[in-house]
Amino acid sequence: MTLSPYLQEVAKRRTFAIISHPDAGKTTITEKVLLFGQAIQTAGTVKGRGSSQHAKSDWMEMEKQRGISITTSVMQFPYHDCLVNLLDTPGHEDFSEDTYRTLTAVDCCLMVIDAAKGVEDRTRKLMEVTRLRDTPILTFMNKLDRDIRDPMELLDEVENELKIGCAPITWPIGCGKLFKGVYHLYKDETYLYQTGKGHTIQEVRIVKGLNNPDLDAAVGEDLAQQLRDELELVQGRRMSSTKICSWPGKSPRSSSEPR
């Protein structure tokens, strides 16, 4: 049966919300999604720090002054054959009702976690709300270019605290001043980190293959070997690519994608 033009347009829509504990970097991630979705040319920042412009989702004057999200902002951009509705939700408890209402209308959620702090109070509460509606979750470990907790420890904490299974998609190489990038478990590629290059789209240096000598040269032999050792421990947690690509299906409870 052929769908009417109206239903065809509805079928193209994909709606997801970005949720987190306050100050985990949710609005900054929203800017990057808009940037790489080519909805904007330059990513803004919270309170305009490090950039000449504010974050697009912080449109209220009070949000710009305080550097927090007060209401849910909706932004839209095309992605392949879909039209994506991106919802940046308030993280602070004072504005939680707005977030809860928003979560009734989404296909899935991107849950941002500060990798230096791990699971926090608001993270737990928001997880409870998404669980009530069986909403698929993609977990995003943020701020890897700062001193963070051990990645294996974070993975276990997400599983134990939030009661969900984790299947890593990418894995960090170093952290803080030694952060070199992330390795993609499914594409067998390493994406090398460039400091201070986040406001515009930059050409990313990619190293193909985990055992490629170029990887050792790019990140150092010690970090390259540490990456290989850690990946041996997480390989069993991998999820099939079919499940990962099934968004907005209900199969994946959680994946884990570090920044």
Average pLDDT of every residue of the chain: 81
Give me the pLDDT at residue 23, please.
87
pLDDT-derived band at 37, boundaries 50, 70, 90? confident
7, pLDDT greater than 70: yes
Whole-angstrom Cα distance, residue 199 to residue 52? Answer: 10
With respect to residue 185, please indicate whether it lies within any of the assigned structural domains.
no
With respect to residue 251, please indicate whether it lies within any of the assigned structural domains.
yes
In the chain, the number of structural domains is: 1
With respect to residue 20, please indicate whether it lies within any of the assigned structural domains.
yes
Domain with residue 254: its CATH number is 3.40.50.300
Whole-angstrom Cα distance, residue 187 to residue 189? Answer: 5
Q: What is the CA radius of gyration of the chain?
A: 18
Give me the pLDDT at residue 240, please.
54
Domain assignment of residue 131, given as a range = 5-176+233-258
- The whole model's pTM is what? 0.79
Most confident of 1-5, 43-47, 80-84: 80-84
With respect to residue 222, please indicate whether it lies within any of the assigned structural domains.
no
With respect to residue 237, please indicate whether it lies within any of the assigned structural domains.
yes
Residue spans of beta strands (DSSP E) within the chain: 13-20, 73-79, 82-88, 108-114, 137-142, 167-168, 170-173, 181-184, 189-192, 206-208, 254-258
228, pLDDT greater than 60: yes
Residue 108 contacts residue 227 (beta carbons within 8 Å): no
With respect to residue 211, please indicate whether it lies within any of the assigned structural domains.
no
With respect to residue 248, please indicate whether it lies within any of the assigned structural domains.
yes
With respect to residue 87, please indicate whether it lies within any of the assigned structural domains.
yes
Whole-angstrom Cα distance, residue 209 to residue 231? Answer: 13
Looking at the chain, the whole-number percentage of residues with pLDDT higher than 90 is 45
Give me the pLDDT at residue 69, please.
61
Among 116, 153, 113, 170, residue whose Cα is nearest residue 137: 113
Rounded to 5 degrees, φ, ψ at 33 are -65, -45
pLDDT digits 0-9 by tens, 54-85: 555 554 455 555 555 667 888 888 888 889 99
User: What amino acid occupies position 86?
Assistant: L
pLDDT digits 0-9 by tens, 153-201: 999 999 999 998 888 999 999 999 999 999 999 999 999 998 866 666 6
pLDDT digits 0-9 by tens, 82-112: 899 998 888 666 667 878 888 888 999 999 9
Rounded to 5 degrees, φ, ψ at 137 are -125, 135
Give me the pLDDT at residue 188, please.
96
Looking at the chain, the whole-number percentage of residues with pLDDT higher than 70 is 74
